[in-house]
Amino acid sequence: MIKQLETIFAGDSSQCKNKIPITERVQPEFFELERENIFRRSWLVAASTTDLPGKGSYIATEIPPLKASLLVVRGEDNQIRVFHNVCRHRGDRLVHTPSGCLKVFTCAFHAWSYSNSGKLINITDASQFNGINKEEHGLVPVHSEVWEDIVFVCLDKTPRETLQQYLGDEIYSGYRGFSAGRVKIADHKLILKTNWNLATNAFCEGYHNLYIHKNTVPDYQGGAGNPDRHRPYLEVGRHFGRYSTHGNQNHKKTPTEAILYEYSKPMFPWFPPVDMSQYPPGINPSRFDQWGFDIVHLFPNCVFAPQANTHSYLTFWPIDHETTEVRNWRFAYGTDNPADAIAQSYSVTRAREVIREDMNTMETTLLGAISGALPHIVLSQQELLIQNHYRAANVMLGKE
């Protein structure tokens, strides 16, 4: 008789609820509360350090719910800083290109210029400005911290806690060094007609995998001892939730997979046994021996997915109460081997198709919520990360 998998539950879920009123959360007035009480106060994923390889490297990025354009820069001292992408003269956007490498940023409007450490170094026709102190008119800084390969920002005037306090030690210290030697292999973006909560929720449970992904990856999780694809490990924390997946060791490789992974390291959607001694304690926390990958929800809007040889970040940015921008970054081990490059491209393509299937439900889910047909949504224990998402939101909104 095959032993059935039992989920290990960790963390305090006593305040999580399995019934969530949803119609109110997709209304414009509710989004205004979320904008100021959640997105203004939270630590948010802004950029990847892999996009800032050398001194002067920069990324211009948007934080849609706060209508903020940010400039993320690696200075000549090698320190990463974040500024509002706004010239201090008349408020025009300082940088219009999405990325590059510069020692000096010059505004196209009136040619005021700034060093890549944010210092104002030139005022055009300076003699005509009375009482202007250049030292007081550098670029406006944004609170930022680097965690592993990610630059986090907080747009609150005075952050209520450090990034480490916000994430908690389980997350902040649990993944130390996991991203070393990895490079970005994909960067996708799309806009959906859905609410950001619903979009985030879609990637915080595996209950749907047997159904939504039956055509693309029908046997990549579970197995005879786990027909419903329960998570072997599920944990919730103050601003995070995470689970491990059961990688099916009997996954039938496609002919393409069989050829590619004969010459390169295995990646999605194949999960052979892994020597977990190579990985920090946050990855596969229970050390499940048939591990596939983890899902880590970093509240409010980031889903981080570490796997052997690769990892990804999905962020769900509300533009308004019913429009969400989805960004997907995927990373893999650095290599100059052509076989590895082909295998990584194949994995990106397979993962992209799986994610597209996930997107299929998001716009219709919004319509269901808007209709008022549901007094609430109901959630199982396998959807505990979603329960925890709304618990964390309610705390920040003052509802708990």
Residue 147 lies in a domain: yes
DSSP structure class, residue 77: T
Do 236 and 381 belong to one domain? Answer: yes
CA distance 199 to 361: 9
- Count CB neighbours of 310 within 10 A: 22
Q: Which of 17, 91, 122 is nearest to 379 (CA)?
A: 17
Do 91 and 234 lie in one domain? The reply is no
Burial class of residue 301 (count of CB atoms within 10 Å of its CB; 0-12, 13-18, 19+): buried
Same domain, 191 and 287: yes
Q: Is residue 116 part of a domain?
A: yes
Here the CATH number for the domain that contains residue 60 is 2.102.10.10
Distance CA 36, CA 34 (A): 6
Q: Give the structural domain span for 188.
A: 8-41+182-396
Average pLDDT score over the chain: 95
For residue 200, the domain's CATH number is 3.90.380.10
Q: What is the tens place of the pLDDT at every residue in 97-108?
A: 999 999 999 999
The answer to whether residue 373 is domain-embedded is yes
**Is 18 in the same domain as 105?**
no
Domain-located, residue 167: no
In this structure, are 147 and 254 located in the same domain?
A: no
Task: Please tell me whether residues 106 and 215 are part of one structural domain.
Answer: no
Residues 246 and 120 in one domain: no
In a shared domain, residues 129 and 244: no
Phi then psi for residue 74, to 5 deg, are -100, 115
Does 114 share its domain with 30? no
Q: What is the pTM of this model?
A: 0.96
**233 and 84, same domain (yes or no):** no
Number of domains in the chain: 2
pLDDT of res. 255: 92
More confident position, 260 or 241: 241
| 221/343 same-domain check | yes
The residues, ordered by sequence, that sit 6+ positions from 240 with a Cβ below 8 Å of its Cβ are: 167, 168, 170, 171, 296, 297, 298, 299
CB burial string 351-360: b at 16+ within 10 A, e below: beebbebbee
Any residues with CB less than 8 A from the CB of 363 and at least 6 apart, and which?
192, 193, 194
Amino acid at 17: K
Interior angle at CA 11, CA 330 and CA 293, nearest 5:
25
Could you report the per-residue pLDDT of 285-339, keeping only the tens digit for each? 999 999 999 999 999 999 999 999 999 999 999 999 999 999 999 999 999 999 9
* Co-location of 230 and 357 in the same domain: yes
Q: Identify whether 3 is part of a domain.
A: no
